[in-house]
Amino acid sequence: MFKKKKKDGRTASRKLVTRDAPKSITLEQFRMIRENINFLSPDKKLKTLLFTSSSSGEGKSTLAANVAIVFAQAGKRVLLVDADMRKPTVHYTFKSTTSPGLSYLLTRQRGLDEVVKRTQIKGLELVTCGKMPINPAELLSSKAMDDLITEMKAKYDVIIIDAPPILLVADAQILSNKCDGTILVVSSGTTEKNSVIRAKGLLENSKANVLGVILNNYKIEKGDYYYNYEGAKE
């Protein structure tokens, strides 16, 4: 779905098609993801959504950012949290700064209102990584994280948390147990089946509410989509 270009050797720039391509087929797919999430729990609102993948490079951060945007476009107040404190990317995606950020909140150096960053997208705000700590798993499993989630839920309609790949570190397992729902991102044609099975098993062991899988980088043939959204009007 997305191609990445290296930027200064640090990370890849990520496409916000939901912001920049208002008539694209891809935008419509993100809207479908949003509605599917809404339909999964009609009686209980899913406010905290965790995005993870089995390994790096599968596009979870790009997907999390775009899903956050489509929820904001639907009139929700949305907070996108960069909980990948080992390889953060949200500040690059939105051309923001890393600090102050999540690590400041979990060490109680700052309050949420002091850390939140606005974006150019109405309804969407960010909590970037902050200074990368030496003990991210311990911070994410702390009572400070529980308290923060409670505070975020009181202030926002939807909180989307971008977590590290689940097969590489324990962070996603820790967070999945704290969130209302978890989404596993799989890269079409590159992610190994065994990796997906192992990732799913780890989430189940953590008693995560696995909402489903998003298949990324899948190419849609031109004739497969029956409606030409390029010519559609709002």
Instruction: Yes or no: say if 26 and 20 are a contact pair by the CB < 8 Å rule.
Output: no
What six digits make up the tokens of 186?
A: 């799989």
What's the pLDDT tens digit per position in 7-59?
Answer: 443 444 467 888 877 778 888 999 999 999 999 877 778 999 999 999 988 89
* Segment 193-215 mean pLDDT: 94
Supply the pLDDT for residue 218: 66
Angle separating helix axes 60-73 and 25-40, nearest 10 degrees: 80
What's the pLDDT tens digit per position in 116-155?
Answer: 999 999 999 999 999 999 999 999 999 999 999 999 999 9
Supply the pLDDT for residue 8: 40
The CA angle 88-38-76, to the nearest 5 degrees, is 65
What's the pLDDT tens digit per position in 57-101?
Answer: 889 999 999 999 999 999 999 999 999 999 999 999 999 999 999
Instruction: Yes or no: say if 174 and 85 are a contact pair by the CB < 8 Å rule.
Output: no
- Residue 220 clears pLDDT 90, i.e. is over it: no
Cα 68 to Cα 118: distance, rounded to the nearest angstrom: 13
CATH number of 44-219: 3.40.50.300
Supply the pLDDT for residue 227: 44
Instruction: Yes or no: say if 136 and 115 are a contact pair by the CB < 8 Å rule.
Output: no
Cα 76 to Cα 83: distance, rounded to the nearest angstrom: 21
